[in-house]
Amino acid sequence: MVEKTKIVNADIYRSSAVVKRRGTLTLEAGRNTVFIAGLTVSSLTDTMRLKFVGNVKALDINYISALDVDDDQRPETTDIEKKIENIDKELEICDKIKELREKNADFTSRSDVSVEAQEKVISELPKQLMDLHAKTVELNDTRKKMEEELSRLQAVRNETVIKAELQAETAGTYEFELQYVERKASWTPLYEIRYISEKQPLEVIMKATIRQGTREDWEKVRVTLFTGNPTVSNTIPVLVPSTLSVYEPTPPKPMAAGRGKMKLNAVADGCATFCEEADADMGSADALFSEAIMDNAVVSNEETMTSYELPGTRDIIHNSEGNSAELQRFDVKSVYGWLTVPRLDTRCFMVARIKNTDWPLPAATAKIYIRDAYAGQVYVSTDPEKEEFELSLGVDERISVSRKVSPDKVSGAFLKGTKTRKSEYIIRLSNSASEPLTVTVKDSIPVSTDKSITVETDDISDGKLEEKEGFLVWEREVSSAKPTEIRVAYSISWPKDKILEEN
In a domain, 420, yes or no: yes
Q: What is the pLDDT of residue 335?
A: 92
Alpha carbon distance 398, 276 (integer Å): 9
In a domain, 441, yes or no: yes
More confident residue, 183 or 2: 183
How would you label 145-164 residue by residue, b for 16+ Cβ within 10 Å and e otherwise? ebeeebeeeeebeebbbbbb
Q: What is the mean pLDDT of residues 483-490?
A: 95
Q: Is the pLDDT of residue 299 over 60?
A: yes
Q: Is the pLDDT of residue 302 over 80?
A: no
Spatial CA neighbour of 348 closest among 179, 478, 217, 196:
478
Q: pLDDT tier at 73 (50, 70, 90 boundaries)?
A: very low
Cβ neighbours of residue 305 under 8 Å, at least 6 residues apart?
A: 226, 227, 228
Spatial CA neighbour of 20 closest among 39, 46, 42, 41:
39
Q: What is the mean pLDDT of residues 223-245?
A: 71
Yes or no: say if 74 and 159 are a contact pair by the CB < 8 Å rule: no
Q: What is the pLDDT of residue 401?
A: 95
Q: What is the mean pLDDT of residues 334-354?
A: 93
Q: What is the pLDDT of residue 270?
A: 36
Collapsing DSSP to helix, strand or coil, 415 comes out as coil
Collapsing DSSP to helix, strand or coil, 116 comes out as helix
Main-chain dihedrals φ then ψ at residue 322, nearest 5 degrees: 125, 135
What's the whole-number average pLDDT of the chain? 83
* Alpha carbon separation from 208 to 15, 211, 268, 332, 364 (Å, rounded): 13, 10, 28, 19, 10
Work out the burial of residue 53: count CB atoms within 10 Å of its CB; fewer than 13 is exposed, 13-18 middle, 19 or more buried. exposed
In a domain, 264, yes or no: no
What single letter denotes the amino acid at residue 224? T
N-term to C-term CA, the chain: 72
The string of pLDDT tens digits covering residues 372-413 is 889 889 999 888 888 999 999 989 999 999 999 999 888 866
Q: What is the pLDDT of residue 228?
A: 84
Q: What is the pLDDT of residue 76?
A: 65
The string of pLDDT tens digits covering residues 3-51 is 889 999 999 999 999 999 999 999 999 999 999 988 888 899 889 999 9
Kind and range of the H or E run holding 87: helix 78-104
Alpha carbon distance 417, 410 (integer Å): 14
What CATH code is carried by the domain that includes residue 486?
Answer: 2.60.40
Residues in the chain: 503
Q: What is the mean pLDDT of residues 250-259?
A: 47
Q: pLDDT tier at 245 (50, 70, 90 boundaries)?
A: low
Q: pLDDT tier at 478 (50, 70, 90 boundaries)?
A: very high
312: left (phi over 0), alpha (psi -120 to 50) or beta: left
Spatial CA neighbour of 461 closest among 421, 426, 430:
426
Q: Is the pLDDT of residue 235 over 90?
A: no
More confident residue, 29 or 247: 29
62: left (phi over 0), alpha (psi -120 to 50) or beta: beta
How many domains is the chain partitioned into structurally?
1
Lowest mean pLDDT among 44-53, 224-233, 283-292: 283-292
* Alpha carbon separation from 366 to 66, 183, 326, 360, 374 (Å, rounded): 45, 26, 14, 15, 11
Q: What is the pLDDT of residue 80?
A: 86
Q: What is the pLDDT of residue 158?
A: 65
Q: Is the pLDDT of residue 248 over 50?
A: yes
Alpha carbon distance 113, 15 (integer Å): 75
The percent of residues above 70 in pLDDT, for the chain, comes to 83
Alpha carbon distance 316, 304 (integer Å): 26
How would you label 90-101 residue by residue, b for 16+ Cβ within 10 Å and e otherwise? eeeebeeeeeee
In a domain, 480, yes or no: yes
More confident residue, 304 or 308: 308
Q: What is the pLDDT of residue 494?
A: 86
Q: What is the pLDDT of residue 430?
A: 95
Lowest mean pLDDT among 131-135, 448-452, 462-466, 490-494: 448-452
In a domain, 438, yes or no: yes
The string of pLDDT tens digits covering residues 79-136 is 888 999 999 999 999 999 988 888 888 877 777 878 888 888 888 888 999 999 999 9
With vertex at residue 405, the alpha carbon angle to CA 400 and CA 406, rounded to the nearest 5 degrees, is 135
Q: Is the pLDDT of residue 283 over 50?
A: no
In a domain, 442, yes or no: yes
Strand order in the sheet with 202-212: 323-332, 202-212, 185-195, 364-370, 373-380
In a domain, 215, yes or no: no
**DSSP per position, 150-216:** HHHHHHHHTSEEEEEEEEESS-EEEEEEEEEEESSEEEEEEEEEEE--TTSPEEEEEEEEEEE-SSS
In a domain, 384, yes or no: no
Q: What is the pLDDT of residue 268?
A: 33
Q: What is the mean pLDDT of residues 202-225?
A: 93
Q: What is the mean pLDDT of residues 297-307?
A: 80
Q: 462 lies in which domain range?
A: 399-495
